[in-house]
Structure 1
Amino acid sequence: MTRTCLTIILAAGKGTRMKSDLPKVLHPVGGLPMVMHAINAAKTAGTDKLAIVTGHGSELLDDALKANGIDAQTCIQKEQLGTANAVDAARSVINEGFDDVIVMFGDTPLVRPETLIEARAKLEAGVDVVVIGFETENPFGYGRLVVKDGQLTAIVEEKEANEEERAITFCNGGLMAFNGRTLGGLLDKIDNNNAKGEFYLTDAVAVANTQGLQVEAMVASEEDVLGVNNRAELANVEQIWQQRVREKHLLDGVTMTAPHTVFFHHDTKIEAGVIIEPNVFFGPNVSVEKGAKIRAFSHLEGASVGANAEVGPFARLRPGANLSEKSKVGNFCEVKNADIAQGAKVNHLTYIGDASIGAGANIGAGTITCNYDGMNKFKTTIGEGAFIGSNSSLVAPVTINDNAYIASGSVITNDVPKDAVGFGRARQETKPGLAVKLRARIKAIKEASKKV
Structure 2
Amino acid sequence: MSEQAIAAVILAAGRGERMRSAKPKVLHEVAGRSMLAHAMASAGALCPQRLVVVIGDQAPEVGEAARALRPDAAIAVQAPPRGTGDAVARALPALEGFDGVVLILYADTPLARPETLSRLVARAQGEAGAVLGFRTDSPGAYGRLVRDGDGALAAIIEAKDASAEERAITLCNAGLMAVDAAFLREALPRLTNDNAKGEYYLTDVVATARASGRRFAVVEGEQSEALGVNARAELAAVEAIFQARLREAAMAAGATLIDPQTVYFSWDTKVGRDVVIEPGVFFGPGVEIADGATVRAFSHIEGARIAPGAVVGPFARLRPGAEIGAGARVGNFVEVKKAQIGEGAKVNHLAYVGDAEVGARANIGAGAITCNYDGFRKHRTEIGEGAFIGSNSALVAPVSIGRGAYVGSGSVITRNVEEDALAVARGRQAEIKGWAARFRRANSREEKE
- Shorter-chain TM-score above 0.5: yes
Give me the whole-angstrom Cα distance separating, in 2, the residues matched to 1:267 and 1:439.
Answer: 64
Q: State the partner residue of 2:141.
A: 141
Q: Which residue of 1 is the match for residue 254 of structure 2?
A: 253
Aligned to 1:179: 180
Q: How much does 1:32 deviate?
A: 1.0
Could you tell me which residue of structure 2 aligns to residue 42 of structure 1?
43
Q: Distance in 2 between matches of 1:357 and 1:251?
A: 34
Which residue is 1:214 aligned to?
Answer: 215
Work out the CA distance in 1 between the residues paired with 2:147 and 2:444. Answer: 91
State the distance in 1 between where 2:241 and 2:444 align. 62
Paired residue type of 1:277: E
- In the TM superposition, residue 336 of structure 1 has moved relative to its aligned partner by 1.2
> Could you tell me how far apart the structure 1 residues matched to 2:443 and 2:114 are?
74
The 5 Å alignment of 1:267-346 reads 267-346=268-347
Paired position in structure 2 for 1:127: 127
1:363 aligned partner: 364
After superposition, the C-alpha distances for 1:347-382 in whole angstroms (9 at most, x for unaligned) are 111111121111111111111112222223222211
**Which residue of structure 2 aligns with residue 7 of structure 1?**
8
Question: 1:223-234 alignment to 2 at 5 Å?
Answer: 223-234=224-235
Q: Runs of 5+ in structure 1 lacking a partner?
A: none
* 2:207 aligned with 1:203: no
Is contact 1:14-1:56 (8 Å) kept? no
Aligned-pair distance for 1:69? Answer: 3.5
CA gap of 1:210–1:418, structure 2 versus 1, over 3 A, is same
Change (3 A) 1:440 1:218: farther
How many Å apart are 1:312 and its aligned residue?
A: 0.9
Q: TM-score w.r.t. structure 2 length?
A: 0.95
In the alignment, structure 1 residue 99 sits paired with structure 2 residue 138? no
Query: Equivalents in 2 of 1:162, 1:441: separation in Å?
Result: 97
CA contact (8 A) 1:65 1:71 kept: no
Give the Å deviation of 1:346. Answer: 0.8
Give the aligned residue type for 1:3. Q
Per-residue Cα deviation, 1:42-74 (whole angstroms, up to 9, x for no partner): 121342211111114442112212332442111
- Matches of 2:275 and 2:233 in 1, distance apart? 33
Could you say if the C-alpha distance between residues 13 and 267 of structure 1 is closer, same or farther in structure 2, counting changes exceeding 3 Å? same
Q: In 1, distance between residues paired with 2:323 and 2:213?
A: 63
Structure 1 residues 188 and 69, CA, compared in 2 at 3 Å: closer, same or farther? closer
Q: Is the 8 A contact 1:11 1:53 kept in 2?
A: yes
Amino acid at match of 1:123: A
Q: 1:440 to 1:207 in 2, by over 3 A?
A: farther
Counterpart in the other structure of 1:154 = 155
Instruction: Compute the displacement of 1:189 (Å).
Output: 2.0
For the 8 Å contact 2:57–2:79, the answer to whether it is kept is no
Equivalences for 1:372-383 in 2 at 5 Å?
372-383=373-384
With over 3 angstroms needed to count, the CA separation of the structure-2 counterparts of 1:171 and 1:400, relative to structure 1, is same
**Aligned-partner residue type, residue 144 of structure 1:** R
Cα distance between partner residues in 1 of 2:212 and 2:283? 53
Cα distance change on mapping 1:437 and 1:193 into 2, 3 Å:
same
Instruction: Give the distance between the partners of 1:174 and 1:282, measured in 2 at CA.
Output: 32
Structure 2 match to 1:71 = 72
User: In the alignment, what sits opposite 1:114?
Assistant: 115
Please report how far the alpha carbon of residue 313 of structure 1 lies from its aligned counterpart in structure 2 after TM superposition: 0.7
SS in 1 for 2:137: coil
- Secondary structure at 2:432 match in 1: coil
Q: Aligned partner of 2:198: which letter? A: G
Counterpart Cα distance in 1 of 2:85 and 2:147 = 22
CA distance in 2 between counterparts of 1:184 and 1:387 reads 72
Aligned length: 447
Separation in structure 1 between the aligned mates of residue 313 and residue 91 of structure 2, nearest angstrom: 51
Structure 1 residues 243-293: Cα deviation after superposition (integer angstroms, max 9, x where no partner): 101111111111111111111112222222221111111112121111111
CA contact (8 A) 1:293 1:308 kept: yes
The code of the aligned residue for 1:324 comes to G
Distance 2:268 2:168 in 1: 42
Identity %: 49
Instruction: Please provide the CA RMSD for this pair.
Output: 1.8
Deviation of residue 444 (structure 1)? Answer: 7.4
Q: TM-score, normalised by structure 1?
A: 0.94
CA distance 1:427–1:135, shift in 2 (3 Å): same
Cα drift, residue 442 of structure 1: 6.3
Counterpart-to-counterpart distance in 2, 1:148 and 1:442: 100
Task: Give the equivalent residue in structure 1 for 2:396.
Answer: 395
One-letter identity of the residue aligned with 1:270 = V
The aligned amino acid for 2:101 is D
Q: Spell out the pairing of 1:44-63 with structure 2 (5 A cutoff).
A: 44-63=45-64
Is the partner of 1:181 in helix, strand or coil?
helix
How far does residue 317 in structure 1 lie from its aligned partner after superposition?
A: 0.9
* Displacement of 1:188: 2.3
